[in-house]
Each structure stands twice: as structure tokens, then as C-alpha cells.
Amino acid sequence: MTRARLDMVQEGQLWEMALEHLGSDGLLQAVIEMWSRAAPPPRPLVEHLSINQVSQDVLSILKIAQQRVGAIVPGRTPDFGTVTLYARHASDLVDGLITLLPKAQLSRALRGSCIEIELGI
């Protein structure tokens, strides 16, 4: 059984909490570290994060990290207010962020997801 993905509102909140907790440089470093370990996705499904879900700061960090690790989605024209990434990578990054943040800052649902991730469920 696979764990349910966060909805876009929860995911956006998580990115903003990570930015606040880690700061710009810390979040960039964490994302680069997590993304550089990501395997090529088995299916090239893509997702888009935009300024509707996260701040321009988070988008900028994701775009910088994406370029540094070479995870650019081919055939997609970069847009100022959107970042396109593989769905598998987006899921892996969110899972990594959940485990980096202090549990006390997480909502009950996110704490549950954190426990599932840590236990490999």
C-alpha cells in the first residue's frame, strides 16, 4: 500500500515552513542534497508548483537546485512563476522535508506522514 500524497495546500505550507525553519541557504542545501540522491523517475509524470502554492523565494530555491542537480524536465519552457518537476522527485522532496522539520511544528496529519516515512510504510 502506498502512502497518500499531500494535497497542494499542505505541500505549499510544508515548503514555507521549511523555508522559515532552514532559511534560504539551508533549504537550498537540503533540496540539493535530497535531489542529488533522487533516482530517475520510472514514469515521466510532471507536476507544477507555482506562486499559487508557494512563495517566489521557494520557487527560486527549487529552480536553482533543479539546475545544480541537472533535474530539468526536457521540453518544458521555464516560467517565472512556476517550476516544473517530475512527480516522483516532488514526492521525494516533500518526504525529505517532512523528516527535516521539528515534529512540534508539523500539523497532526504531517506528523502522521512523518512517522510513516520514518517507518518505511
Q: What is the total count of domains within the chain?
A: 1
Does position 114 have pLDDT exceeding 80, yes or no? yes
Asked, for residue 31, whether it belongs to a domain, the answer is: yes
> 3-class SS at 63?
helix
pTM of the model: 0.86
Task: Pick the closest to residue 7 from 90, 64, 66, 89 (CA basis).
Answer: 90
Residue 3 has a pLDDT of 59
Asked, for residue 12, whether it belongs to a domain, the answer is: yes
Asked, for residue 78, whether it belongs to a domain, the answer is: yes
The distance from CA 119 to its chain's CA centroid, rounded to whole angstroms, is 20
Share above pLDDT 90 across residues of the chain, in percent, rounded to a whole number: 60
Residue 62 sits in which domain range?
8-119
Q: What is the mean pLDDT of residues 56-83?
A: 91
Asked, for residue 1, whether it belongs to a domain, the answer is: no
- Rounded to whole angstroms, the Cα distance separating 72 from 51 reads 19
- Rounded to whole angstroms, the Cα distance separating 17 from 23 reads 10
Residue 4 has a pLDDT of 67
Count of C-beta atoms within a 10 Å radius of residue 31:
24
Q: What is the mean pLDDT of residues 31-54?
A: 91
